[in-house]
Structure 1
Amino acid sequence: MDKKILIVEDDVVFCKLLTRFLRKNGFEVMDAQSGKDALELVNLNKFELAVLDYRLPDMTGIEILKEVKRKNPKSKIILITRYGDQDVASKAIDSGADAFISKPINPDELLQVILGFE
């Protein structure tokens, strides 16, 4: 697999856990812990998939989603959040997210969602 994935999660330990897990499963993965860092990566790379935390210290995952889609409209987006309310889910889908997952996330379940896009 040569799918390039962006993970944006402000929980550093969880972010690195997902990054390592997806790399072990054959993906090229880049990660960021803030919206600012994520946007820098988006401007320098083309991601086929982005896994975005909704609540970040400096912006929302939806703001990053819009930039990823602007740069590569075919990118798939998975939005994740601890705050699994319907408002966030519908806002994410309306903004172009392809999937929405509530925390806590099981990495194997995330992998199944990712593989489902192929």
Structure 2
Amino acid sequence: MNVKILIVEDDVIFCKLLTKFLSKNGFEVMDAQNGKDAFELMELNVFKLAVLDYRLPDMTGIEILRTLKEKQPESKVVLITRYGDQEVASKAIAAGADAFISKPINPDELLEVIKNLN
């Protein structure tokens, strides 16, 4: 498949779980726990897809989404949050998100969304 995915999630255990799960399903996955590290990865790599947590320690996933879409407009973005209110979903879609998933996330559901975006 060789699709490169960026995961940005501040919950280290959950982040590594998603990374391992998607890697086992044939994706090349890189992850970061904050926006600063995500921007560094984006400078060095081209990602076909990004899975971004909305609430991060140094910024929101929407800020990362905007930068990613500016630098890599072909990238697809899935925004995730445990604060699954309609306002966040609307902001995400308006900023260019291709999908929005509320936590808790079922990895199989995320995989299905990713496959549908490719």
Answer whether TM exceeds 0.5 for this pair. Answer: yes
Give the 4+ runs in structure 1 shifted more than 2 A.
none
Contact 1:5/1:50 (8 A) holds in 2: yes
Residue 114 of structure 2 corresponds to 114
Aligned mates of 2:117, 2:10 — CA distance in 1: 25
Aligned mates of 2:7, 2:41 — CA distance in 1: 10
For residues 19-98 of structure 1, the aligned pairs below 5 Å read: 19-98=19-98
Q: Which amino acid aligns with 1:70?
A: E
After superposition, give the CA deviation of every residue in 1:48-92 in whole Å (9 maximum; x if it has no partner): 000000000000000100111111101000000000000000000
Unpaired runs of 5+ in structure 2?
A: none
Aligned mates of 1:117, 1:33 — CA distance in 2: 23
Contact 1:42/1:67 (8 A) holds in 2: no
TM superposition shift of 1:117: 1.2
Unpaired runs of 5+ in structure 1?
A: none
TM-score (norm 2): 0.99
Residue 101 of structure 2 corresponds to 101
Q: Which amino acid aligns with 2:78?
A: I
RMSD: 0.5
Q: Which amino acid aligns with 1:19?
A: T
